[in-house]
């Protein structure tokens, strides 16, 4: 089925990304999650899929979840363990969840890994596997980049040097520059539209419970650029069919 496309296996990029917490536009991605999780998740057993350097895993632990993180990048797992020595961070193979044994989770959090999964087949396979890790009332929360993020300027990102993004279709590579880190090489993501995500979830045996598109507000106290009028992120809450 092919290997998972992993932007952050690069050592320099891993180091830059590991230094991030919740600056600028990233803060908006996580702002509404506490209320959303309180509404939809019963229980505290959580898995952070594609945990990277552990930012989202630590976020879940701060909300009271018993969270474990998994990732395919040895560079990122090493940084997660260094930041949180008491945490559980597992290096796994592409699509291989055997390290988790028979554990089941009330929440599977996916904070941006699907921005880098290249095909419908891979997305469906991974999401089907993650759905199989849910407990009886479990939820998958898939936080992804909106296609709009690749077509505007933001507090934390720039796309002005990549006008070809505007013509991109689902499955195409798009480029974006992160402004909150020293590494200004463009990140290559895979564009995936809402229509494509809905088809992906249906094929994976998941149903859409709620969709949130967070917008910036004047009261956020942030120097928003496009965030007030255009949602850079989409948060999908999913359950098993």
User: What is the set of domains in the chain, with CATH numbers?
Assistant: 7-146+193-240 (3.40.50.150)
Give the model's pLDDT for residue 228: 98
The ranges of the chain with pLDDT < 70 are 1-21
Nearest CA to 204 out of 100, 111, 79, 95 is that of 95
What span, in angstroms and rounded, lies between the C-alpha atoms of 191 and 79?
A: 27
- 96: which residues sit within 8 A by CB, 6+ positions away? none
Distance of CA 3 to the CA centre of its chain: 18
CB 65 within 8 A of CB 44: yes
In sequence order, what E strands does 60-172 have?
66-71, 88-91, 105-111, 134-145, 157-158
Nearest CA to 176 out of 168, 187, 192 is that of 187
Residues 74-92 have pLDDT tens digits of 999 999 999 999 999 999 9
> Which H helix or E strand runs over 190?
strand 187-190
- 36: which residues sit within 8 A by CB, 6+ positions away? 141, 210, 212, 235, 237
Give the model's pLDDT for residue 23: 82
Residue positions counted in the chain: 241
Give the model's pLDDT for residue 183: 87
Give the model's pLDDT for residue 20: 59
């Amino acid at each position: 089925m092919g290997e998972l496309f992993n932007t952050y296996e690069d050592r320099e990029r891993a180091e830059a990304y590991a230094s991030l917490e919740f600056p600028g536009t990233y803060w908006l991605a996580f702002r509404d999650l506490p209320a959303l999780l309180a509404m939809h998740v019963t229980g505290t057993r959580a898995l952070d899929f594609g945990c990277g350097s552990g930012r989202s895993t630590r976020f879940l632990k701060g909300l009271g979840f018993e969270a474990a993180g998994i990732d395919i990048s040895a560079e990122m797992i090493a940084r997660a363990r260094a930041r949180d020595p008491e945490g559980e961070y597992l290096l796994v193979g592409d699509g291989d969840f055997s390290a988790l044994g028979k554990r089941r989770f009330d929440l599977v959090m996916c904070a941006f890994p699907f921005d880098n999964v290249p095909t419908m087949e891979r997305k469906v396979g991974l999401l089907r596997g993650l759905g199989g890790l849910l407990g009886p009332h479990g939820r998958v929360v898939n936080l992804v980049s909106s296609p709009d993020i690749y077509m505007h300027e933001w507090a934390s990102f720039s796309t002005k040097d990549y006008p070809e993004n505007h013509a991109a279709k689902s499955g195409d590579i798009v480029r974006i520059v992160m402004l909150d880190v020293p590494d200004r090489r463009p990140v290559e993501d895979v564009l995936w539209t809402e229509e494509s995500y809905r088809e992906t979830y249906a094929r994976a045996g998941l149903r859409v419970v709620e969709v949130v598109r967070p917008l910036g507000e004047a009261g956020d106290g942030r120097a928003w650029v496009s965030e007030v009028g255009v949602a850079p992120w989409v948060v999908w809450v999913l359950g098993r069919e």
